[in-house]
C-alpha cells in the first residue's frame, strides 16, 4: 500500500462505520466505461457534497491488493452483473490534490513532485521497471509488467489552479500528457475518475482536456442521483434518527435536476443529525469566505439580482460563457454560474434560472451581504431594515411609501401593472427578513392561503407578520380577508404577537395620489 499506488480500502471501511447512505451505484456507471473510448470521467461538485467519499469508495472497489467483498457484498453494487468482473482487479493510482499541497510549495512544484512520487512507487512495486524521464513512458512499461491497465482517481483535480493560478499552464500540460495522448493513454488506463469543484478549464472555447466526459452541477446527467442525498434517502435517515423531516427539507434541500427533483446537501444533513441542531454548517468551509467577494462585484444587474434572490425569487442565467475558473469574469452571468458550481445557487436547466436553494445558503448570503462594502447594496440593506422597523411599529404611511418606491425601481414598465409583480415587490422590499424570520408564501391558513407570512425565529423577539396583498381594492379589504378567513389560526401555536399587514396597489389612482396603501393591525389573541 502506497501513498499513490494501491491505497487500499481502509478509507472506505472507515466511511462505512457511520450512517452510510449507499451510493455504490456510481461504481456501476464507472464499470460501463472501463476499456472503452468514454473511459475518462470528470465529476464536479461543491465542497461538502461527498466527492472524497466517492473517490475512496472507488479505490476500495478496484484496488487489486485487497479483497473488499466484505465491504460491498450488502450494498447496491453487489447486485450488478459487473460486480465480480472488476472488483479488486486493477492497480489504482490515487491522488488527493489538496493533501499534497503542503509538500509542493503551495502547488508551485506539483508536477515534479507527482512525477517523482508516482515513479518511485511504481519502481518499488515492479522490480525491473525501466524508469524514464517521462512519467507516461514509465507508466506504459509498468502496465505491461503488471499485466493490466491502471485505474486513476484524482480527487480535487482543480485545487492547484483554483489556489495557484500561475501554475495553470504547466499543470494542464501535465494532465494532457496523461489523458490526451492517443498513443499512450489507451495503453496505460482502463479508466480514470476525477473530482473537482469546477468543470475542466476551458482553453479558448474548448475544454483543455477534451476527452473527458464532464458531469457538473449544471448538467449532472446520469450522475445526478450521486450529487447529494435524494428525498428517499433523507426520509430514511430522519426516520432512523427520529429527526424532523420537514425542517430538514427546508434547511438543506433545494437542489434539483431533471430526473431528481429533490437533492440535499449531504454533509449538512449528517451534521444536523449528529448535532441534533438545524444550522448553517457552510460557514465551516473556506468556500463561504469567498461569497462576499463574488456578490460585491461591480457588474451591471448583479446587485439587483442578489436582492431578488434573497427575496426568494428566481433569476435568469446563461452559463455558456463561463471560463471554468475563479478569475475570468465577463459579467453577471459568469458570477452566477460560478455560484452554481460552488453550491450557493441551484440551477433549473429547463427554465434557465437560478435561485437560493435553502435556508442554510440563504443565511450565508444574509451574513455575507452585511459585510459587503458596496454603496448600492448597503442602501438596500438600510431601507429593508427600516421597512421592518416601520411595519413593526405600525407606521403605515412609511410602509406604503417604501413599497411604492421598490415597486417603481424594481419592476420593468412592461410588468408594472401585473398582479403577480406585487408579491415580488414585497419579497424585494423585505429582503433582509432572514436576520429574524423564516418566510412562507401561499401558506395554508384558516380557510385559504396567506400570501406571505414572516415567522420569527426562536431567537427573535420580533412579532409574526401575516401579509395579504390586494390589487385595485383596498388595504382595509386585505385586513378583512385575513380576519374573515382566519389566517392567524396557522400561527396559534406560535404564542407571540401577530401583526396583520394589508397592502393594496391601485393602478388607477389619480395623478398625485399614492398608488400603494397599507393597514397594520395587531391580531387579537
End-to-end CA distance of the chain: 70
Domain ranges of the chain: 10-215, 229-369, 383-522
| DSSP code at position 524 | P
- Ordered DSSP codes for 431-469: TTGGGTEEEEEEEEETTEEEEEEEEEPTT--PPEEEEEE
d(CA 69, CA 67): 6
346-348: strand order across its sheet: 315-316, 353-355, 346-348
What is the third-level CATH fold of 383-522?
Trna Endonuclease; Chain: A, domain 1 (3.40.1350)
Longest dimension (CA), the chain: 94
Cell readout for 343 is 453550491
Do the domains 383-522 and 10-215 match in fold? no
From first to last of the 525 residues of the chain, give the pLDDT tens digit: 678 999 999 999 999 998 899 999 999 999 999 999 999 999 999 988 999 999 999 999 999 999 999 999 999 999 999 999 999 999 999 999 999 999 999 999 999 999 999 999 999 999 989 999 999 999 999 999 988 899 999 999 999 998 898 998 899 999 999 998 767 899 999 999 999 999 887 665 556 677 899 999 999 999 999 999 999 999 999 999 999 999 999 999 999 999 899 999 999 999 999 999 998 887 654 544 578 778 878 788 888 888 888 888 899 999 988 988 888 888 999 999 999 999 999 999 999 999 999 989 988 888 888 777 777 778 888 899 999 999 999 999 999 999 988 888 775 533 444 556 778 888 888 888 878 888 888 878 777 788 889 989 877 889 999 999 888 889 999 999 989 988 888 887 788 899 999 999 887 765 555 689 999 999 876
- In angstroms and rounded to an integer, the radius of gyration of the C-alpha atoms of the chain is 27
pTM: 0.84
- Within its chain, how far is the Cα of 245 from the centroid? 20
Would you say how long the chain is, in residues? Answer: 525
- Position 492 scores a pLDDT of 78
141 sits in which H/E element? helix 135-146
Please calculate the CA angle 108-109-113 and round it to the nearest 5 degrees. Answer: 150
Question: Look-up: residue for cell 465529476?
Answer: 43
Residue from 114, 113, 58 nearest 86 by CA: 58
> In the prediction, which pLDDT does 24 show?
97
* CA–CA distances in Å: residue 356 to residues 254, 359, 371, 518: 8, 8, 19, 29
Give the pLDDT score at 307: 83
CATH architecture of the domain formed by 10-215: 3-Layer(aba) Sandwich (3.40)
**8 Å CB contact between 430 and 364:** no
Q: Which residue has the cell 451505484?
A: 25
Written in H, E and C, the secondary structure of 27-78 is: HHHHHCCCCCCCCEEEEECCCCCCHHHHHHHHHHHHECCCCCHHHHCCCHHH
Grid coordinates representing 284?
465551516
User: Any idea what the Cα angle at residue 188 is, between residues 182 and 190, rounded to 5°?
Assistant: 100
Residue 414's pLDDT is: 33
Amino acid at each position: 500500500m502506497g501513498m499513490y499506488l494501491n491505497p487500499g480500502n481502509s478509507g472506505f471501511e472507515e466511511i462505512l462505520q457511520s450512517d452510510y447512505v449507499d451510493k455504490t451505484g456510481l461504481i456501476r456507471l464507472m464499470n460501463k466505461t472501463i476499456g472503452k473510448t468514454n473511459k475518462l470521467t470528470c465529476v464536479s461538485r461543491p465542497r461538502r457534497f461527498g466527492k472524497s467519499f466517492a473517490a475512496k469508495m472507488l479505490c476500495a472497489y478496484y484496488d487489486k491488493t485487497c479483497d473488499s467483498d466484505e465491504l460491498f457484498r450488502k450494498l447496491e453494487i453487489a447486485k450488478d452483473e459487473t460486480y465480480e468482473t472488476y472488483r479488486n482487479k486493477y492497480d489504482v493510482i490515487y491522488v488527493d490534490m489538496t493533501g499534497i499541497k503542503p509538500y509542493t510549495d503551495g502547488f508551485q512544484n506539483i508536477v515534479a513532485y507527482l512525477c517523482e512520487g508516482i515513479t518511485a512507487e511504481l519502481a518499488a512495486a515492479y522490480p525491473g521497471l525501466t524508469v524514464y524521464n517521462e512519467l507516461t513512458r514509465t507508466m506504459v512499461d509498468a502496465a505491461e509488467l503488471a499485466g493490466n491497465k491502471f485505474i486513476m482517481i484524482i480527487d480535487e483535480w482543480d485545487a492547484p489552479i483554483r489556489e495557484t493560478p500561475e501554475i495553470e499552464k504547466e499543470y494542464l500540460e501535465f494532465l494532457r500528457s496523461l489523458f490526451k495522448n492517443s498513443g499512450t493513454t489507451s495503453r496505460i488506463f482502463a479508466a480514470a475518475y476525477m473530482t473537482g469543484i469546477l468543470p475542466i478549464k476551458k482553453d479558448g472555447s474548448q475544454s483543455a482536456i477534451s476527452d473527458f466526459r464532464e458531469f457538473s452541477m449544471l448538467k449532472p446527467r446520469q450522475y445526478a442521483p450521486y450529487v447529494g442525498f435524494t428525498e428517499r434517502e433523507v426520509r430514511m435517515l430522519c426516520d432512523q434518527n427520529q429527526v424532523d423531516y420537514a425542517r430538514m427539507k427546508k434547511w438543506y434541500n433545494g437542489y434539483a435536476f431533471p430526473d431528481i427533483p429533490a437533492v440535499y446537501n449531504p454533509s449538512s444533513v449528517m451534521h444536523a443529525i449528529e448535532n441534533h441542531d438545524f444550522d448553517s454548517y457552510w460557514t465551516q468551509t473556506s468556500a463561504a469566505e469567498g461569497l462576499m467577494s463574488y456578490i460585491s462585484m461591480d457588474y451591471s444587474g448583479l446587485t439587483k439580482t442578489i436582492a431578488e434572490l434573497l427575496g426568494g425569487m428566481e433569476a435568469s442565467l446563461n452559463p455558456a460563457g463561463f471560463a471554468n475558473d475563479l478569475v475570468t469574469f465577463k459579467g453577471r452571468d459568469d458570477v452566477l454560474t460560478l455560484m452554481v458550481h460552488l453550491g450557493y445557487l441551484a440551477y433549473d436547466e429547463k427554465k434557465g434560472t437560478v435561485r437560493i436553494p435553502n435556508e442554510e445558503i440563504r443565511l450565508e448570503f444574509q451574513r455575507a451581504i452585511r459585510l459587503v462594502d458596496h454603496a448600492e447594496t448597503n442602501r438596500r440593506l438600510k431601507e429593508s431594515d427600516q421597512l421592518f422597523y416601520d411595519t413593526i411599529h405600525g407606521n403605515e404611511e412609511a410602509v406604503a411609501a417604501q413599497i411604492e418606491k421598490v415597486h417603481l425601481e424594481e419592476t420593468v414598465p412592461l410588468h408594472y401593472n401585473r398582479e403577480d409583480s406585487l408579491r415580488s415587490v414585497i419579497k424585494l422590499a423585505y429582503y433582509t427578513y432572514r436576520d429574524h424570520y423564516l418566510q412562507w408564501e401561499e401558506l395554508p391558513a384558516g380557510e385559504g392561503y396567506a400570501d406571505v407570512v414572516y415567522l420569527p425565529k426562536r431567537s427573535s423577539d420580533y412579532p409574526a407578520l401575516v401579509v395579504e396583498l390586494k390589487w385595485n381594492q383596498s388595504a382595509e379589504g386585505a385586513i378583512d380577508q385575513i380576519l374573515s378567513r382566519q389566517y392567524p389560526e396557522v400561527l396559534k401555536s406560535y404564542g407571540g404577537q401577530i401583526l396583520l399587514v394589508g397592502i393594496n396597489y391601485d393602478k388607477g389612482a389619480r395623478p398625485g395620489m399614492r398608488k400603494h396603501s397599507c393597514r397594520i393591525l395587531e391580531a387579537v389573541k
